[in-house]
Structure 1
Amino acid sequence: MITKDTPLKDIISQNRLLQSVVERFNFKLPSWNVSVQQACLLNGENPDFVIGILKAFDENTDFPTQELMSFSLTSILNYLKKTHEYYLSKKLPEIELSIENLIRDYAPGSPSLVHSGSLFLTYKEDLIKHIWEEELELFPYIEYLQTTKLQGFKFDVHSKLSKYSISTFIHSHDDHEKGLESIKEIILAAANQREPVMAYRIFLIQLEIFSKDLQKHSMVEDEILIPMALKLEKELNNILRN
């Protein structure tokens, strides 16, 4: 069980998925021997929130919906922005480099690798587009709702709420884990055609971890962010109508 007293080194040694969660907080630390509590105090993070996120990614723990719902929309949004930055600056480039190395070293005897590389590039472009849609449309809209509630209604509020809505996002929300699974199946088929060299195994592990990470990321959005934002949006629309 992860608590505020658990050393970070123990968390990241449990599994690679939890390591990826710790990495996105980008803690600046004297060592990994410090506890979650100490790491958060040193880096201005809320230890209770970090524990909640770690629980969400822990495969041995039920998804902590109610616990995460107790935090502010601002905390959820800031975390999701950290995750997007982590995907864009670290995870996607790492996976792309791995598949480039595979294609360079093994493509002559495995044409399906070239196909999988092309699929991954298309997948990456779609995922990046989705991330920027959230960063440039959904997140600013939610932040606008928050500001309106805190500071009062402005002249443009009716226009803002009529041009965009949370339901707009829900209808366009893609299932990116499935796209990654199809790429992984092609890589597996290619690997079965020859000796399962270490490069294949490393790449498959990367895809597996990222697929699970995306699944948990989607759960934070779908089960925490969206219900909280819908509630706020409904509250403001009700005020407008009355």
Structure 2
Amino acid sequence: MRNNRLFTAKDSVVELIEHDYNVLTVLSRFSLPLGFGQKSIGELCDESGIHTDAFLLIINFLLTGEIDSASIMKVSPADVVYFLHNSHDYYLSYKLPHIRANLISALDDSHGDINPIIVKFFDDYTELVRQHFNYEENVVFPYVRKLSEHVDSDYSIDVFRRHHDDEIE
């Protein structure tokens, strides 16, 4: 999805999708309905109760790989958590099972000795993803919501950062 086009609230949703049809999955992760006609991004977000600046921050980041530092101050972390929560659901309920089904159908029957190992590797990976998402859902997201509501917490995002960095290395 990488390019240099930045979208604004005045741009049409159709124009956004024509620019990169992959944004359809992003619309669904914001719970934005299809059937938007000629509405602008701002109109669709307003009618759907989605913070337009949060939508644009995320969509423009996904399209360009860059975060607009001016708009980040307008976005509530809770809005980002909403998107991430829906993204977790999308990956666990749809994307990973879809990949698994495609993987199984792509395996050659003549390699019956190694096929179960390949599937187990994928299933183990999926379990690690599920554990990571569960940690975020049960620890990190409640922490971010509390911070957004100006409520103190014993948790520190540095713990998450160290935990996350350890997983990547």
What TM bracket, shorter-length normalisation? Answer: 0.7 to 0.9
What do the CA deviations read for 1:99-133 (whole angstroms, capped 9, x no partner)? 12223xx3425976654432221111101110010
Which residue in the other structure is 2:163 paired with? 172
| 1:26 aligns to 2:17 (yes or no) | no
What do the CA deviations read for 1:134-160 (whole angstroms, capped 9, x no partner)? 11111112333444x36xxxxxx6xx5
| 1:99 aligns to 2:103 (yes or no) | yes
Alignment-mate amino acid for residue 79 of structure 1? F
1: CA distance between counterparts of 2:128 and 2:55? 29
2: CA distance between counterparts of 1:39 and 1:46? 10
Aligned ranges 1:45-56 → 2 under 5 Å: 45-56=50-61
SS in 2 for 1:101: helix
- Determine which structure has more spread, i.e. the larger CA radius of gyration: 1
8 Å CA contact 2:27–2:33 kept in 1: the answer is: no
Using the size of structure 2 for normalisation, the TM-score is: 0.77
| 1:89 aligns to 2:103 (yes or no) | no
Could you tell me which runs of 5 or more consecutive residues in structure 1 were left unpaired when the two chains were aligned: 151-156, 179-242
8 Å CA contact 1:29–1:42 kept in 2: the answer is: no
Matched residue count: 162
Alignment-mate amino acid for residue 54 of structure 1? I
Aligned ranges 1:4-153 → 2 under 5 Å: 4-31=9-36, 33-59=38-64, 62-103=66-107, 106-108=108-110, 114-147=116-149, 149=150
8 Å CA contact 2:53–2:71 kept in 1: the answer is: no
Deviation at 1:94, TM superposition (A): 1.9
Alignment-mate amino acid for residue 26 of structure 1? S
2: CA distance between counterparts of 1:9 and 1:64? 23
What do the CA deviations read for 1:136-192 (whole angstroms, capped 9, x no partner)? 111112333444x36xxxxxx6xx52xx322221121123xx9xxxxxxxxxxxxxx
2: CA distance between counterparts of 1:33 and 1:101? 40
Identity of matched residues, %: 23
Aligned Cα root-mean-square deviation (Å): 2.7
Assess, with a 3 A threshold, how the Cα gap between structure 1 residues 49 and 113 changes in structure 2: closer, same or farther.
same
Assess, with a 3 A threshold, how the Cα gap between structure 1 residues 63 and 108 changes in structure 2: closer, same or farther.
farther
Could you tell me which runs of 5 or more consecutive residues in structure 2 were left unpaired when the two chains were aligned: none
- Which structure dedicates a bigger proportion of its chain to helix? 1
2: CA distance between counterparts of 1:110 and 1:55? 45
8 Å CA contact 1:53–1:68 kept in 2: the answer is: no
8 Å CA contact 1:102–1:113 kept in 2: the answer is: no
Deviation at 1:83, TM superposition (A): 1.8
Using the size of structure 1 for normalisation, the TM-score is: 0.57
